[in-house]
């Protein structure tokens, strides 16, 4: 019996014979688990001393000690430790827990379950929590010291393994070792071994009688489960060929060989053969040529050697710095072959802009696990949302028993959780995935007494994490995410600063947005039917202490855009229900955009969505709304788009809005169809080549699937696009489509692309297989794999699409037609369309702007001449637009040795090439022409950019200083004349700005190109 009288059950089953991991395996597992400065990547207790890092020697010693400690822990845990599995307050099971010899699973015994069901894969572990860190343990383990408790959260459904260890040392060893092993399991090296681990798992599941081999019948069932459609005759033939020892069954090695033979992909082999200098292997240079020629990347030789070291599975081939077709396949399945651009997985955006200039990943009614009427409320919902990157959570606060405020969906049957417990969870998990500010959106329905309790909990529990500084009311714009790094902001109503006591404010209540009896909803306006009048918002008393927790995110009632433009403060924000937000984003989008440049806005689902369904966030983003709150507990198309949007910028939960949504001197119209001033459209070509290991819906038994792929672009109305492939019958294992789709994106920086795989069903609705969504701007060019996800956003094991992506700016599409033809540059110049500046009939604006029309034409000439000649030179040398200038120069010099020697000279700062032979080939002539035209463009850029940029900048500054005469038009967009003035001013200013920024960057680029040319060609001012 336990101390409280609960039963601790024991099983009489004997323990299985244990093997321990080899020293080599332990060394491999612990290698790289510390950072270069000696700091451990394993989360330590707050009271543990940090490793000494004052100098390199002590840092190295600390690192060695940490690795040795981790190795010792793994040895200990592989031998097994006693623990109690907590099933309920009264039911607890004594078990021995251990790491399996391959360090891939946590297993336990005794148990009546099969071996597969009494273990958890390390890769599936989502989180390891020490203490009573779950609601379950807080109620079921009150008699057990918190220092002994821990929870392993795993799987796509967030299953919990709640344990009590015998000692705190055991508990800490498990937490530290598992955290490290989970991190290692997600490394690129382990990802490259994922298929072998998956095959082993499939093998074990198919081995019904657990004899270590698969019979013909078991193979037939497994192949069907894997969506491999072979006749029984073909399966028998393959089985016989794979059964090399003629035992009548396939062991794991034989099964793996059979699967890999079946999984050989002709499209990968063909691509490999195209670049491999020998039949069977790629060299480092071959791999680099592939990256330049196909992937639009130019990695160094050292980087390519690293790719081989990471992905090549055959040691002998790896030692020769070569790559086999298997290694090439794994390479394309790794991060370097991912459709999601590698750079987007890091924080690369400017985080010093005002907070209103960012989209913020946000949750609605975060506490709910299910529907809005009867569903359970849970601390786990907050933890999951925060760990998924959410940076704004909602707390619906009401008076609770015993003076303890609670959180639940008021006036419903949803369960209640303590406000205090939620704040403690927020403290623990707010910065688990991002260091940027967490916003607590408080919906306050509490009495003053319990509001004081709320304020005390936030102040005491959050401590220094809570942003408590008095706001600077002289500010015209909000502070930045960097200013609020690792700080928690509270959003709510605030009393006037001069008020000394509690005071009245309007109650926060989303339910107030629901239509009342006698009303109907028409967009954002509520129209009366009959004589029933809408009541005013209810007033509540606001605690002075709670009010003091509010600073830069103050909730105010929204009156009108005009009132906000006239007297709104940057720290004042309003919330908009779905209906009102949709109406404003549709009918007053330009007003909404202007409002959102200075002030935050929050949108939330309609109260009628009692099933916790979601609305489309894209129209709100198009209007510049920052906090577009969704029901995170509901997996749906809208949540897929939201996840896709916030994948970028390292998944930190903050995405910098496109420039035209935050520019202080212009407006934005989401209804644009042909052109957005200041934005360069792009053309996208996506070829859906094939699919791999597409499972049955829900992995249930049934017929082999009939898959098709659907492409969706979500953006401004002009960019919305949907298409689909044909259906492939009876093949989920390796379907081949080879279908190409083209689309133009007018505003690529505000678009999300979604790949969706479906199983066609002629008798009912098509079934969902998997999807992946990402920002269009993060789409990687070349041959790429799309790693499909479950509806929950979790990885769909081994399921991928293989595609080819081409991304081109509109100008490049035109330029390519004239590259390599006689007088191509002259023909491009003849077709050139110069930007036109619109007169506003306002002298102080028109004079400086229209007076610089000549500079605009010059800027256009400099920009387009350089862009065209650079592209022309790269194409002449056999490369694409992203190739480095070094590769092109090497090719040019190679041509000169093989075809015709060249004479290189420099006159007046311009490099010039002349052929040194009479018979010049067409290829060589094109290279020489392209080189000379490029150098003319470089010289023009370096000579004339500074004066041109200075003139344009001066004109812009003059117009900004006179902005007051245009600002009223920006605020009166309902008037046609004012709107036209605002549109013309926007177009002119963004044209100036585009050329100023473009030419400044171009000059830097041209300087680098010229320097590289001079270094490689070793040319000085004198003739060579």
Of the listed ranges 274-288, 551-565, 589-603, 887-901, the least confidently predicted one is: 887-901
Of the listed ranges 33-47, 70-84, 324-338, 948-962, the least confidently predicted one is: 33-47
pLDDT range class, residue 58, cuts 50, 70, 90: low
pTM above 0.75, yes or no: yes
- What is the per-residue pLDDT for 192? 61
Strand order in the sheet with 721-724: 721-724, 707-714, 752-759, 767-775, 782-789, 795-809, 682-692, 736-745
Q: Per-residue pLDDT for 514 more than 60?
A: no
- What is the per-residue pLDDT for 14? 46
> What would the mean pLDDT of 715-742 be, rounded to a whole number?
96
Half-sphere exposure of 597 (CA within 13 A, CB side): 21
Contacts of 829 (CB under 8 A, 6+ apart): 861, 865
The predicted-structure confidence for 822-835, as pLDDT tens digits, reads as follows 888 999 899 898 99
Q: Per-residue pLDDT for 1023 more than 70?
A: no
pLDDT range class, residue 702, cuts 50, 70, 90: low
Burial 288-311 (b: 16+ CB within 10 A, else e): bbbbbbbbbbbbeeeebeebbebb
Sign of the four-CA dihedral 519, 522, 527, 530: negative
Structure tokens at 400: 């609770």
> What would the mean pLDDT of 236-241 be, rounded to a whole number?
87
Of the listed ranges 461-465, 665-669, 766-770, the least confidently predicted one is: 665-669
What's the rounded Cα separation, in Å, for the pair 537 and 505? 10
- Of 587, 410, 608, residue with least CA distance to 515: 608
- What is the per-residue pLDDT for 763? 85
What's the rounded Cα separation, in Å, for the pair 99 and 704? 37
Question: How is residue 907 annotated by DSSP?
Answer: E
Burial 448-463 (b: 16+ CB within 10 A, else e): eebbbbbbebbeebbe
* Contact present, 824 and 867 (Cβ < 8 Å): no
- What is the per-residue pLDDT for 701? 64
Surface-to-core class of residue 147, CB atoms within 10 Å of its CB (0-12 exposed, 13-18 middle, 19+ buried): middle
Q: Hey, how many other C-beta atoms are within 10 angstroms of the C-beta on 726?
A: 10
Q: Is 364 known to be catalytic?
A: yes
Q: Per-residue pLDDT for 13 more than 50?
A: no
Chain centroid to Cα 996, Å, comes to 31
| Average model confidence (pLDDT) across the chain | 87
The predicted-structure confidence for 807-860, as pLDDT tens digits, reads as follows 988 777 778 788 878 888 999 899 898 999 999 999 999 999 999 999 999 999
Cite the beta strand spans of 380-460 per DSSP E: 392-398, 406-407, 417-418, 438-444
Q: Hey, how many other C-beta atoms are within 10 angstroms of the C-beta on 486?
A: 14
- Give the CA distances from residue 654 to residues 293, 421, 504, 649, 650, in Å, rounded to whole numbers and listed in that order: 34, 26, 34, 7, 9
- What is the per-residue pLDDT for 32? 47
The interaxial angle of helices 194-206 and 216-225, nearest 10 deg, is 130
Chain centroid to Cα 421, Å, comes to 30
Of 357, 364, 429, 445, which one is the catalytic site residue?
A: 364
> What would the mean pLDDT of 223-228 be, rounded to a whole number?
79
pLDDT range class, residue 2, cuts 50, 70, 90: very low
Q: Per-residue pLDDT for 41 more than 80?
A: no
Q: What residues are paired with 628 via a beta bridge?
A: 361, 603
What's the rounded Cα separation, in Å, for the pair 776 and 683? 11
Chain centroid to Cα 391, Å, comes to 14
**Location of structure tokens 């506490």:** 367
Which pairing describes strands 322-323 and 282-283: parallel, antiparallel, or unpaired? Answer: antiparallel
What's the rounded Cα separation, in Å, for the pair 685 and 739? 10
Q: Per-residue pLDDT for 50 more than 50?
A: no
| For the chain, percent of residues with pLDDT exceeding 90 | 60
- What is the per-residue pLDDT for 30? 59
The predicted-structure confidence for 85-119, as pLDDT tens digits, reads as follows 999 999 999 999 999 888 889 999 887 777 778 89
Q: Per-residue pLDDT for 715 more than 80?
A: yes
Structure tokens at 615: 């609305």
* Contact present, 301 and 288 (Cβ < 8 Å): yes
Q: Per-residue pLDDT for 200 more than 50?
A: yes
Question: How is residue 226 annotated by DSSP?
Answer: T
* Contact present, 409 and 453 (Cβ < 8 Å): no
Question: How is residue 508 annotated by DSSP?
Answer: P
* Contact present, 737 and 726 (Cβ < 8 Å): yes
- What is the per-residue pLDDT for 595? 96
- Reduced to 3 states, what is the DSSP secondary structure of residue 384? helix
- Of 348, 294, 338, 340, residue with least CA distance to 779: 340
Sign of the four-CA dihedral 839, 841, 842, 848: positive
Question: How is residue 250 annotated by DSSP?
Answer: B
3-state helix, strand, coil in the chain (%, to 5): 40, 20, 35
Structure tokens at 817: 């037609």
Question: How is residue 529 annotated by DSSP?
Answer: -
The predicted-structure confidence for 239-256, as pLDDT tens digits, reads as follows 888 888 888 899 988 888
* Contact present, 334 and 188 (Cβ < 8 Å): yes
- CA-derived radius of gyration, the chain: 32
- Of 269, 370, 385, residue with least CA distance to 328: 269
Residue 752 phi/psi, 5° resolution? -120, 130
Per-residue HEC secondary structure of 591-640 comes to HHHHHHHHCCEEEECCCCCCCCCCCCCHHHHHCCCCEEEECCCCCCHHHH
- What is the per-residue pLDDT for 700? 63
Q: What residues are paired with 108 via a beta bridge?
A: 97
- What is the per-residue pLDDT for 438? 98
The predicted-structure confidence for 778-793, as pLDDT tens digits, reads as follows 999 999 999 999 998 9
* Contact present, 49 and 42 (Cβ < 8 Å): no
What's the rounded Cα separation, in Å, for the pair 683 and 812? 10
pLDDT range class, residue 531, cuts 50, 70, 90: very low
Q: Hey, how many other C-beta atoms are within 10 angstroms of the C-beta on 404?
A: 15
What's the rounded Cα separation, in Å, for the pair 543 and 504? 9
Q: What residues are paired with 684 via a beta bridge?
A: 743, 807
- What is the per-residue pLDDT for 807? 92
* Contact present, 775 and 348 (Cβ < 8 Å): no
- What is the per-residue pLDDT for 576? 97
Largest interatomic CA distance in the chain:
102
| For the chain, percent of residues with pLDDT exceeding 70 | 89
- What is the per-residue pLDDT for 540? 86
> What would the mean pLDDT of 503-512 be, rounded to a whole number?
71
The predicted-structure confidence for 888-906, as pLDDT tens digits, reads as follows 888 888 888 887 888 888 8
- Of 991, 1010, 987, residue with least CA distance to 941: 1010
Q: Per-residue pLDDT for 510 more than 90?
A: no
Of 154, 296, 357, 409, which one is the catalytic site residue?
A: 409
Structure tokens at 952: 């344009």
> What would the mean pLDDT of 114-133 be, rounded to a whole number?
88
**Which secondary structure element, helix H or strand E, spans residue 562, and what is its range?**
helix 561-567
Q: Give alpha helix (H) positions in 495-588.
A: 544-547, 561-567, 578-587
Q: Is 210 known to be catalytic?
A: no
- What is the per-residue pLDDT for 34? 43
- Give the CA distances from residue 584 to residues 183, 591, 607, in Å, rounded to whole numbers and listed in that order: 45, 8, 18
- Reduced to 3 states, what is the DSSP secondary structure of residue 845? helix
- What is the per-residue pLDDT for 37? 36
Structure tokens at 8: 């601790």
* Contact present, 550 and 439 (Cβ < 8 Å): no
């Amino acid at each position: 019996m336990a101390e409280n009288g609960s039963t601790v059950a024991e099983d009489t089953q004997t323990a299985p014979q244990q093997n321990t991991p080899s020293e080599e395996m332990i060394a491999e597992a612990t290698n790289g688990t510390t950072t270069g400065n000696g700091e451990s990547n394993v989360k330590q207790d707050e009271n543990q001393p940090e490793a000494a890092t004052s100098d390199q020697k002590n840092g190295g010693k600390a690192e060695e000690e940490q690795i040795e400690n981790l190795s010792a822990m793994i040895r200990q845990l592989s031998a097994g430790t006693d623990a109690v599995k907590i099933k309920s307050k009264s039911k607890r099971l004594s078990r021995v827990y251990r790491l399996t010899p391959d360090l891939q699973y946590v297993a336990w015994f005794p148990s009546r379950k099969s071996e597969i069901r009494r273990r958890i894969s390390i890769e599936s572990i989502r989180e390891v929590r020490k203490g009573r860190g779950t609601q379950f343990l807080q109620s079921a383990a009150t008699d057990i010291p918190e220092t002994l408790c821990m929870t392993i959260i795993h799987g796509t459904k967030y299953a919990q393994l709640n344990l009590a260890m015998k000692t705190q040392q055991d508990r800490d060893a498990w937490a530290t070792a598992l955290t490290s092993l989970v991190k290692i399991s997600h490394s690129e090296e382990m990802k490259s071994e994922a298929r072998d681990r998956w095959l082993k798992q499939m093998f074990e599941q198919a081995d019904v009688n657990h004899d270590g081999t698969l019979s013909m019948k078991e193979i037939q069932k497994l192949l069907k489960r894997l969506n491999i459609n072979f006749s029984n005759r073909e399966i028998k033939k393959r089985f016989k060929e794979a059964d090399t020892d003629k035992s009548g069954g396939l062991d794991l090695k034989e099964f793996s060989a059979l699967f890999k033979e079946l999984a050989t992909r002709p499209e990968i082999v063909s691509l490999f053969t195209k670049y491999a200098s020998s039949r069977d292997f790629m060299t480092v240079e071959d791999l680099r040529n592939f990256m330049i020629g196909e992937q639009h990347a130019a990695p160094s030789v050292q980087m390519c050697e690293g790719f081989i070291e990471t992905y090549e599975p055959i040691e002998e081939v790896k030692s020769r710095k070569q790559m086999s077709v298997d290694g090439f396949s794994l390479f394309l399945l790794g991060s370097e072959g991912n459709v999601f651009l590698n750079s987007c997985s890091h924080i690369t955006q400017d985080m010093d802009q005002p907070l209103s200039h960012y989209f913020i990943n946000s949750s609605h009614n975060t506490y709910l696990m299910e529907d809005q009427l009867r569903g359970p409320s849970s601390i786990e919902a907050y933890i999951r949302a925060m760990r998924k990157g959410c940076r704004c959570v909602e707390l619906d606060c009401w008076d609770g028993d015993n003076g303890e405020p609670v959180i639940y969906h008021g006036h419903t049957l949803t369960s209640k959780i303590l406000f205090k417990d939620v704040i403690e969870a927020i403290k623990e998990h707010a910065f688990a995935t991002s260091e940027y500010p967490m916003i607590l959106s408080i919906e306050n329905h509490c009495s003053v007494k319990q509001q004081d309790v709320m304020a005390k909990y936030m102040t005491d529990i959050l401590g220094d994490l809570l942003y408590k500084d008095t706001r600077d009311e002289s500010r015209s714009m909000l502070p930045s995410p960097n200013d609020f790094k690792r700080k928690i902001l509270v959003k709510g109503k605030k009393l006037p600063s001069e008020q000394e006591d509690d005071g009245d404010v309007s109650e926060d209540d989303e339910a107030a947005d629901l239509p009342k009896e006698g009303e109907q909803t028409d967009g954002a306006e509520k129209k009366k039917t009959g004589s029933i009048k809408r009541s005013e918002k209810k007033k509540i008393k606001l605690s002075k202490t709670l009010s003091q927790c509010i600073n830069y995110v103050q909730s105010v009632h929204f009156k009108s855009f005009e009132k906000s433009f006239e007297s709104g403060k940057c720290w004042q924000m309003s919330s908009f229900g779905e209906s009102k937000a949709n109406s404003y984003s549709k009918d007053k989008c330009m007003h909404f955009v202007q409002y959102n440049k200075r002030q935050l806005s929050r949108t939330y689902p309609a109260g009628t969505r009692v099933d916790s369904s979601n609305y489309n966030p894209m129209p709100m983003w198009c209007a510049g709304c920052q906090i577009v709150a969704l029901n995170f507990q509901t997996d749906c198309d809208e949540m897929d788009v939201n996840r896709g949007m916030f994948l970028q910028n390292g998944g930190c939960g903050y995405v910098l809005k496109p420039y035209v949504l935050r520019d202080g001197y212009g407006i934005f119209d989401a209804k644009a169809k042909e052109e957005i001033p200041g934005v360069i459209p792009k053309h996208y070509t996506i070829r859906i080549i094939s699919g791999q290991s597409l499972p049955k819906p829900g992995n249930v038994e049934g017929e082999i699937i009939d898959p098709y792929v659907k492409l969706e672009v979500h953006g401004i109305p002009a960019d919305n696009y949907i298409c689909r492939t044909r259906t492939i019958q009876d093949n989920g294992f390796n379907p081949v489509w080879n279908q190409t789709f083209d689309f133009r994106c007018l505003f690529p920086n505000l678009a999300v692309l979604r790949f969706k795989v479906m199983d066609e069903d002629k008798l009912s609705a098509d079934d969902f297989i998997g999807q992946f969504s990402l920002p269009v701007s993060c789409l990687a060019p070349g041959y790429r794999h799309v790693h499909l996800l479950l509806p929950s956003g979790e990885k769909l094991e081994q399921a991928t699409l293989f595609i080819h992506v081409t991304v081109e700016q509109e100008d490049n599409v035109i330029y390519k037609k004239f590259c390599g033809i006689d007088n191509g540059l002259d023909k491009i110049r003849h077709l050139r369309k110069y930007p036109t500046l619109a007169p506003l009939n306002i002298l102080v604006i028109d004079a400086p702007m229209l007076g610089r029309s000549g500079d605009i034409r010059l800027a256009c000439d400099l920009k387009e001449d350089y862009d065209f000649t650079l592209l022309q030179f790269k194409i002449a040398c056999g490369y694409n637009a992203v190739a480095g200038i070094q590769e092109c120069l090497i090719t040019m010099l190679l041509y000169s040795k093989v075809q015709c020697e060249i004479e290189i000279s420099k006159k007046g700062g311009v490099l010039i090439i002349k052929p040194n032979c009479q018979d010049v080939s067409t290829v060589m002539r094109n290279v020489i022409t392209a080189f000379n035209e490029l150098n003319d463009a470089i010289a023009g850029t370096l000579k004339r950019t500074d004066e041109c940029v200075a003139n344009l900048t001066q004109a812009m500054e003059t117009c900004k200083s006179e902005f007051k005469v245009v600002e009223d038009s920006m605020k009166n967009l309902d008037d046609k004349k004012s709107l036209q003035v605002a549109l013309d001013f926007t177009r002119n200013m963004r044209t100036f700005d585009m050329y100023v920024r473009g030419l400044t960057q171009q000059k830097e680029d041209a300087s680098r190109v010229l320097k590289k040319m001079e270094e490689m060609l070793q040319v000085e001012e004198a003739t060579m």
